[in-house]
Chain A
């Protein structure tokens, strides 16, 4: 079931009614759990078995891990959980990819091997709920959290429908404590939740699907080069589309959950106003980047094992983060590029830090140097000022957009073709986008960047508090009217495939 469908609207209304009836808290939780299973099974009922398997194994594995004091059996239990979760993920998500690359490897050494392409359907949301259950088992293993004694609470933590298929990737401490006490949305939470749901649907249905998707599909779908303007517009369209699609989903999820009285963590914080890549990853898919930081980067050693290891750890984390998005080398390249940019940024920061330190040392001996160094750093504009920061944010977005080419293109060749078109190396392709397409993409891009820049140090809640109520109502009305006008329902969210 997708949030932008009539079936979900019916489901949600019925669930809200049920959740607000004077029933015991345990019954309400059972209702939520059954509703979550129904929500999931309406895609492909058999895959609910995988969800059950993951839930049951991790619940009992964590209990046994907590009870066991000896290191080896604890490791063994953790390994069982990891093998099961990552094994399912590998089979369903990477089975075909691994086989394809194995075949290529054999043929490269002269062994002719032709395997039948496996007909594997990817269970919706498997990457997300696998990370949710893994975080629980790993936290229990590290004694960061106690195992949850109630199977109902744990099953609801894993299966809770707002986050189940596309995040935010929740941690045990985010949700389980909320399930222990009766929760019901206050009027304020309900209204704000409905506003967030409207905003999320607006972002997905109106902006991503209606204003941007067709331009991105056109440019990335043609097998021949296009004009540089079209290539840039296609990439900008996808850049806006993927943000509005994914952040739209997260906003819907947070809003829906709030209507039920539960708070989910933020997943996006105006990423297209990020200054640099480490800032970008503090703002984009926050629950994934913190998951990778806590369960991959830091266990690898993080920045505690010297400079070289830090860069290696960064690259490993980003390459695997890329692969998490999909079974394709393009995703690995996308992750790799982000890794390289993060490393480059770190290098620049270290170099600048060293320069500043040595300059500060010299400055004590020769105060006249201050002015000339300051002048040297003001080319072309001061990077400390607002304009300089805005320039750096635009540069970051430009580089992020270049990485999106690999994310969206169907293969490496197509990605290179688009990049060559963007930078005028192939200048003579045909024009593909109409004036209206260009108008839509450029308008949305300008509005999006402006909103992100203006909101980068703020939040929707703060904005809502500052706005007069009638203005909030006008904005809300405009979004809903456009949503009703669009009439597009049931388009899947891009991140469902991951």
Chain B
């Protein structure tokens, strides 16, 4: 090939690719999708670096998706003046993360643990446990090169909607292809693109379209039913459950021994999802036993009218507006329940203790 031909091919390629990028970006902007950051291992590792300056006013949050949706970090910051460190991971068990914090001798802060029973009480080696373990194992291997890439990616993600690996990359686009399913196999849930966006602080929030459109909410509900169909109907029991409780207690004790603080929180769920959770994971057998075994305080949304008044649009997570008030409501309960000093300099009118139930 002549030099001229190669150069012409290169220039034409550049024009084609730039045209595609501009068109692709404009297309997704026209779809009214909000900008979303990749909630990947680098963003988690970046956030994990922040755990050493935590306090009851700036706790570390671990758990599953509910605490990512339901606890609004900016609302918390407005109340306490500080933003929590959001380490929760969607669809995973927080136990590997708790274990990681417990084994870090420099961590002496406060941990709020979101308990979604179907994920929390999963045995070692199960998918929710493995996925969380992967993040924990990634953190010490996060190389300087990956850190540099992460910061460059952040600059790009700030401006480009289509840089959204979870929703708009090749893999999810291929998954949307109308390929007939193979009998007896399941490729995992396909949530609508409008369900969730992630902020750089790892806050997850529903999009406006999701909040407004019940047909999108119904698609998410259908996904929960599908996931339920592929999940164990009953939670772990017997020695396996005892082993899980023992490992949690050990981690909690390790954190406390260094002066750290721990509390469990059960976030709201409703509808058939909540009914299935109650059947599969009866409160007295799992939640109550967890608190008793670890001798740790816990806040269950059902015990507080101010927390149980909310409805989840898709049975499992709060809408963004509700997440703000939920956060404002839970802070005084946390303080009252634990006696921790939570700075509330920027607080709006705090909920009075009279509005709080005295349940465990």
Contacts and interface: CB of A to CB of B under 8 A. Distances in A.
Contacts of B38: 487
A432 B186 CA distance: 8
Contacts of B1: 464-465, 467, 469, 472
A10 B143 contact: no
A436 B175 contact: yes
Given A473-B9, A488-B169, A433 B149 contact: no
Nearest to A198: B13
B170 interface: yes
Contacts, number: 140
B184 A431 contact: yes
Contacts of B16: 473-474, 477, 481
Interface in A185-239: 186-188, 191-192, 194-195, 206, 210
B187 A43 contact: no
B17 A481 contact: yes
A182 interface: no
B148 A435 contact: no
A428 interface: no
A435 B149 contact: no
B183 A431 contact: yes
A469 B5 CA distance: 5
Interface in B1-40: 1, 3, 5-10, 12-13, 16-17, 20-21, 24, 38
A470 B10 CA distance: 9
Interface string A471-498: 0111011001110111111100000000
A1 B145 CA distance: 5
A438 interface: yes
Contacts of A482: 170
Given A480-B17, A485-B170, A431 B182 contact: yes
B170 A206 contact: yes
Interface in A442-485: 464-465, 467, 469-470, 472-474, 476-477, 480-482, 484-485
Contact of A477 (B17, B143, B174): B17
A7 B165 contact: no
B179 A439 contact: yes
A485 B184 contact: no
7 contacts: A10-B152, A191-B6, A435-B179, A436-B187, A484-B24, A487-B164, A490-B42
B354 interface: no
Given A191-B6, A469-B1, A490 B146 contact: yes
The 7 lowest CB-CB distance pairs between A and B, nearest first, are: A42-B145, A6-B152, A7-B148, A469-B5, A434-B187, A477-B16, A473-B12
B7 A187 contact: yes
Contacts of B8: 469-470, 473
Given A465-B1, A469-B1, A485-B169, A6 B9 contact: no
B153 interface: yes
A165 to B, nearest CB: 12
A5 interface: yes
Contact of B13 (A464, A467, A480): A480
A242 B146 CA distance: 23
A356 B9 CA distance: 51
Interface in B131-156: 143-146, 148-149, 152-153, 156
B171 interface: yes
A432 B168 CA distance: 25
Given A7-B148, A481-B20, 19 more contacts: A42-B145, A187-B6, A191-B10, A206-B170, A434-B187, A435-B181, A436-B174, A438-B182, A440-B174, A469-B1, A469-B12, A470-B12, A473-B8, A473-B10, A473-B12, A473-B13, A477-B13, A477-B17, A481-B16
Interface in A400-456: 430-440
Nearest to A464: B1
B148 A6 contact: yes
Interface string B40-61: 0010000000000000000000
B173 interface: yes
B60 to A, nearest CB: 25
B230 to A, nearest CB: 13
Nearest to B148: A7
Given A482-B170, A485-B170, A490-B149, A42 B17 contact: no
B182 A486 contact: no
Contacts of B175: 436
Interface in A364-418: none
A155 interface: no
B180 interface: yes
A438 B187 CA distance: 12
Contacts of A432: 185
A482 B169 CA distance: 9
A45 to B, nearest CB: 8
Contact of A44 (B5, B143, B156, B184): B143
Given A186-B3, A485-B169, A5 B20 contact: no
A486 B1 CA distance: 30
A436 B38 CA distance: 24
B148 A487 contact: no
B177 interface: yes
A437 B169 CA distance: 17
Residue among A43, A186, A436, A476 facing the most chain B CB atoms (10 A cut-off)? A436
Contacts of B244: none
Interface in B272-297: none
B31 to A, nearest CB: 16
A464 B24 CA distance: 29
B179 to A, nearest CB: 5
Given A44-B143, A470-B12, A489 B170 contact: no
A469 B17 CA distance: 16
A126 interface: no
B163 interface: yes
A481 B21 CA distance: 8
